[in-house]
Structure 1
Amino acid sequence: MKTHYILLAALTVSIFSSCKKYPNPDPVFAELVNNVVPQRKVLVISIDGLTGSELQAVAPVNIAELQKTSKYAYNTVASASDAAGWVSMTTGTSFGKHQVQSDNFERNEDPDGDPHGSIPAFRNVFDYITQYKAVKTALVSPWPNLRNYIKNTDFTPIVSTDLAAKDSAVNIISTQPALGTVFVNFRDVESAGANGGFVASNPNYKNAIVKSDEFVGNILQAVKSRKSYANENWLVIITTNHGGSNANPTNGFTIVHNPAFKPFELKKSGFNSVLFNNVTTQAIVPDDNGLYNMGANQDFTVQMQVKFANIATYQAFLSKSNDAGPNFTGWMWYQSTVGNITMCAGGNLNGAPAGRINIGSIGTVADNTWHTVTMTVKRINSTTRTMTAYVDGVVKGTPANIHDRLSISSAEPLKVGRRGVDGSTTTFSTFNSANLLIFNVALDQPTINANISLKDVTKHPNYSSLIGYWPMDEAVENTYYNKAAQGYNMSLTGTYSWVYLADNYPPGTVADPIISNISVATTTSDVAALSLYWMNINILPEFSYDGKPYLKNFEKEFLK
């Protein structure tokens, strides 16, 4: 056995000695790469009642420092009240949709609604976050009504002052490693403004702003002191439910911060318009109390500026009527053949023996440029009531006598958007609209022509007869606001989107300057959308969000 061991050893030496020798490579000292993806988290702080302009004037130290790495706005659209702002902030829906205004957080009753109908309800942001992410949530507010409204957070401490809210927020942030989203509410600024005014020159208001800013600094320090902060990626939103008071809210502000962000002021830029391009997109006056029903004798004028991108056969785009069929009642504008506009009126449901009467082939306007379309109706005598069509101030087609159509009042709402017309195709009109005006007088041609490009509607010679004026340039949420002394707002419904048209201004529009190739008008409803976006939660159509996750426009800054 000894001889065999010696032979094996000799063979081993022989094998190793026959290998070619290479020099040893230089040592390489590589740093270990941290492949941990930072966890995204959200902190929202609302300083209720803080007006954007006054925040700018005071420029408190902590918020001013945040702005250096933020997307920010000092003219966030005012909400309707304390509760309305908070419901929008947490549900992503506009006041026009959720209709919550009073401090009890109950929806306004619709006097004309079905008392047994379903009540719209919208889930809050915490509900979505905990559905899709395994994180803890918190709401810290000294307002009992808000705490009673938001009941599904993991932490909702009972506090009665802003100081206690700050301390509780600091404690939760410092001790809860699984915390994913926290909303903090301060109320003292709004209370201080009620004593001397919501202006920086009021010492009470200014001091409350500075104190709230101090609390903001305390909370931010708590975030940075978390043991896991190095592996976290926080979106910080400092905002308000509205500026000013609960009774008279004004525009607020929004600061959206992350260390990777470059500073950018969020403003509406150029012209913004809703794109009507499907069967569901519409703007209506839900209830006009008969204001826009013109009966059998009322003189009136309707004018709207429109930009068509396509030709769609028999597609209505503006109406105060039912669908155009055997029982047509009301008035309607629609695209007929080869993109021509047709206007019609009828009163079948009001006893008119004849069907609708048309003014056809008014003109082809499907050229993707703005045109001003006008309709006047004037009672001449006991047998003549004349409907006249204009395009860009020029009479088009042959005026029609609609006297024998009797009353053209309709139970249907005033509507921008599609209605059915005989022979409708499945190709929907694609158009933008602006500057819808309704007068309760019939304007003459010189007046129409002279005021197509009028930018201050109060200077119109017939302003006292204006019963509706919708510029349609809000760029946010779901309401066209009526700017006339009389009239009602219009509600946007269906699948709609605001599009940025840059310097493609309609005639008569007061032009917002082009400040950027990105147009962002901010609202309180954006807070929920930004929160879900940051938490990598897809905002689905069924969420009914009006708020915009506009950080998508800046992803090259923070997505590496």
Structure 2
Amino acid sequence: MKNLEKNTATNVFRSLTAAVCLAFVLLFGSSCNKDFPNTLNTNYKNDTTGINNKTRKVLYIIMDGVRGKALRALNPPVLAQIVKKSIYAYDGLTDYQTSTMTNATAWSNMITGVTSDKHKVTTENFSGNQIASFPSLFTRFRQTNPNLRSVSIAASKIFNDNLAKDATVTLNYENDDAKVKDGVIEEFKKDDAGIVVAQFHSAEVAGAASGYTDASTNYINAIKQQDTYIGEIMTALQGRKTFASEDWLVVIASNKGGVIPAIPNNPDKTVYADDTRNNFIIFYNPRFVSQFVPKPDSDKLPYSGAAPNFTGTNSAFSFAKLPNATIGNFGTGDFTFQCKIRYDGPASNYPSFISKRASFTAGVPGWVLFLEGDIFQLNMSQVGQGNTQVSGGTIRDGIWHSIAFKVWMNGSVRTVTMYKDGVKGLDKVITNVGNFDSPAPLTLGGNFISGEGGTIDLLIKEVAMFNVAIPDAAILANMRKTTIDATFPNYNNLVGYWPANEGGGSTLADLSGKAGNFTMSSTAKWKTFTDFSPNLDPTVSEATYMVVPNNVDIPFQIYTWMGVIIQPSWQLKGKSWKPNYTDVRI
């Protein structure tokens, strides 16, 4: 009996302690290191569908310039509690398409739900915008629910002037986050508060002045201050006299990040590594189960697809030939050749794998790339002249490589230069300034009737020829790319481009529209692959960037929460993030 009485007293003490702690949480938002309270009645049967009879409303807080990675490192106390009942990401993306990121662009993404290719906001002054064609969420709510009260309280007047014209109320407190906070708290005193947007700007000001890193005192202090303001706002929200009959979605997100010193030898070459686009996004409701959304391992994305597989021994090689043998003849002009290759075969001597030449015999014109042991070599000859040969480096290792060479005039001296995996290789002077024009067709895989030996087993992709000598810097800067598009250096100088990604059939299509298609031999087969190569930066699909919340997802999530039927004509770019609910019913 004494033990029972002792345990009962202990439990009562613990209950009282918990009650006191809960009261402090309600008052101060971050005390006792507890979650924001779940004020739901737990005496009802389970409801995991999120369906309830409460009035849905939205609080949307924007923290300009707060990098998600900096916030994660700082882990300020209020937001650290909020994420315990949230869908959240510290590697969210402001935008994965725009080349230049501005506050105005970021705001427009997160208020309209479309990216700059539609809303056309690319500068801080909103010049040339098409927001009238892709309206803000304030406009959409005025159209779909004109009785809903929407309020925008901003520390940047230009935000309200351009994005909140159709809000029921706009309040401007230029560069004064404290007054923005006070304005939100005052708004919560109104029974009909429905959509409340608050825009903080001090972290952006501090980041622009002293750096967006977690080592910048002014920047970190600004974030901490905003975290305190959010605690006060959450306390005021939960103190509404109508709170028990309301169901609030709280969205807290940064509009963008900011430039920080580059990480040396950073293997991540995707926009996930672009700190100007790195933001955080939180969708909070006290009924949500915490869901952390990590980014993919973007520094180790595989290079995947299909490629022609050329195999064979001695004269029984598989190949692909270009029917028009004049393609690749440049006379005495400059040219550049490049491709991707994975060599799986054994060490061999003298099997060709790409050629525009009929044999190795000196004086037979043309050029050939071939394997000598583990190393690829380029051998060239002009009519009546000897061979010029230059080494390109090791490629026989079962890993994808990017290789290239160019023939060019270095002053009055004709020169050939080799490249591999973003590194410039050997230069070699070509003895006579003749030409390498050959009647032999450009050939992938094995080729020669005589002089060719060994064994090949390789994949070839992204074959391209240009009728200019591309500058060294441009070649090296783009060797890691796995596709060629209009942004590629000297794109208009392509004379042939064969991605070789068909995956089946006997044709390798020329996407330049100038050279024609390769025809594969019946012995050449297709092979699919998924490889990590330290030498390549695979093109990242849009789906890869959509695995984390993007700014354009926020309007979509808000419309979904509020029961607005999203029309296809709105052309929204985002998607909805489905919450998991706690095991309670309202």
Q: TM-score, normalised by structure 2?
A: 0.51
Instruction: Find the counterpart in structure 2 of residue 543 from structure 1.
Output: 570
What letter matches 1:128 in structure 2?
R
1:235-314 correspondence runs (5 A): 235-244=249-258, 249-269=276-296, 306=305
Between the aligned partners of 1:397 and 1:227, the Cα distance in structure 2 is 77
Deviation sequence 1:56-114 (CA, Å, 0-9, x none)? 22222111110111122112224511101100001111234433122211238xxxxxx
Deviation sequence 1:96-151 (CA, Å, 0-9, x none)? 4433122211238xxxxxxxxx9983111122223333421111102111111020
Report if the CA contact (8 A) 2:67-2:275 is conserved. no
Instruction: Find the counterpart in structure 2 of residue 84 from structure 1.
Output: 105
Deviation sequence 1:14-35 (CA, Å, 0-9, x none)? xxxxxxxxxxxxxxxxx99999
Between the aligned partners of 1:64 and 1:481, the Cα distance in structure 2 is 45
Call closer, same or farther: CA 1:54–1:507 in 2, change over 3 Å: closer
2:170 aligned counterpart, secondary structure: coil
* Shift, 1:55, TM fit: 1.4
Match of 1:51 among 43, 67, 71: 67
* Shift, 1:510, TM fit: 6.8
* Shift, 1:179, TM fit: 2.7
Instruction: Find the counterpart in structure 1 of residue 247 from structure 2.
Output: 233
1:439-478 correspondence runs (5 A): 453-454=400-401, 459-461=421-423, 464=473, 465=475, 468=478
Between the aligned partners of 2:584 and 2:571, the Cα distance in structure 1 is 27
Call closer, same or farther: CA 1:396–1:158 in 2, change over 3 Å: same
Instruction: Find the counterpart in structure 2 of residue 142 from structure 1.
Output: 155
Call closer, same or farther: CA 1:119–1:105 in 2, change over 3 Å: closer
Instruction: Find the counterpart in structure 2 of residue 122 from structure 1.
Output: 134
What letter matches 1:40 in structure 2?
R
Segments of 5+ residues of structure 2 without an aligned counterpart are 1-42, 96-100, 261-273, 308-319, 345-351, 359-389, 404-418, 425-471, 493-528
Call closer, same or farther: CA 1:398–1:455 in 2, change over 3 Å: closer
* Shift, 1:460, TM fit: 3.5
Between the aligned partners of 2:194 and 2:86, the Cα distance in structure 1 is 20
Instruction: Find the counterpart in structure 2 of residue 102 from structure 1.
Output: 123
Between the aligned partners of 1:458 and 1:72, the Cα distance in structure 2 is 42
Between the aligned partners of 1:156 and 1:52, the Cα distance in structure 2 is 28
Instruction: Find the counterpart in structure 2 of residue 431 from structure 1.
Output: none
Deviation sequence 1:154-197 (CA, Å, 0-9, x none)? 0101323111111111111221x333222100111112223432
1:390-409 correspondence runs (5 A): none
Between the aligned partners of 2:356 and 2:77, the Cα distance in structure 1 is 66
What letter matches 1:84 in structure 2?
T
* Shift, 1:45, TM fit: 0.6
The alignment-based identity, stated in percent, is 24
Instruction: Find the counterpart in structure 1 of residue 232 from structure 2.
Output: 218
Between the aligned partners of 1:124 and 1:307, the Cα distance in structure 2 is 43
What letter matches 1:85 in structure 2?
A
* Shift, 1:211, TM fit: 1.2
Report if the CA contact (8 A) 1:386-1:399 is conserved. no
What letter matches 2:236 in structure 1?
A
Between the aligned partners of 1:559 and 1:448, the Cα distance in structure 2 is 60
Match of 1:191 among 205, 225, 233: 205
Instruction: Find the counterpart in structure 2 of residue 165 from structure 1.
Output: 180
Call closer, same or farther: CA 1:64–1:383 in 2, change over 3 Å: closer
Between the aligned partners of 2:52 and 2:336, the Cα distance in structure 1 is 74
Report if the CA contact (8 A) 1:386-1:400 is conserved. no
* 2:329 maps to 1:379: yes
1:182 aligned counterpart, secondary structure: strand
Report if the CA contact (8 A) 1:271-1:511 is conserved. no
Report if the CA contact (8 A) 1:92-1:525 is conserved. yes
Instruction: Find the counterpart in structure 1 of residue 15 from structure 2.
Output: none
* 2:166 maps to 1:152: yes
Report if the CA contact (8 A) 1:42-1:180 is conserved. yes
Report if the CA contact (8 A) 1:137-1:153 is conserved. yes
Report if the CA contact (8 A) 1:91-1:125 is conserved. yes
Instruction: Find the counterpart in structure 2 of residue 354 from structure 1.
Output: none
Question: How many residues in Structure 1 have an aligned counterpart in Structure 2?
Answer: 361
Between the aligned partners of 1:557 and 1:399, the Cα distance in structure 2 is 67
Between the aligned partners of 2:486 and 2:80, the Cα distance in structure 1 is 33
Between the aligned partners of 2:52 and 2:538, the Cα distance in structure 1 is 48
* 2:84 maps to 1:68: yes
Segments of 5+ residues of structure 1 without an aligned counterpart are 1-30, 109-117, 273-303, 309-341, 345-356, 360-376, 402-442, 474-479, 489-503
Deviation sequence 1:221-255 (CA, Å, 0-9, x none)? 22212222112211111111112369983512112
Instruction: Find the counterpart in structure 1 of residue 271 from structure 2.
Output: none
Call closer, same or farther: CA 1:178–1:120 in 2, change over 3 Å: closer
Between the aligned partners of 1:164 and 1:540, the Cα distance in structure 2 is 36
Deviation sequence 1:295-326 (CA, Å, 0-9, x none)? xxxxxxxxx95369xxxxxxxxxxxxxxxxxx
Report if the CA contact (8 A) 1:243-1:251 is conserved. yes
Between the aligned partners of 2:563 and 2:486, the Cα distance in structure 1 is 33
Call closer, same or farther: CA 1:198–1:382 in 2, change over 3 Å: closer
Call closer, same or farther: CA 1:556–1:173 in 2, change over 3 Å: closer
* Shift, 1:381, TM fit: 3.5
Between the aligned partners of 1:487 and 1:120, the Cα distance in structure 2 is 36
1:138 aligned counterpart, secondary structure: strand
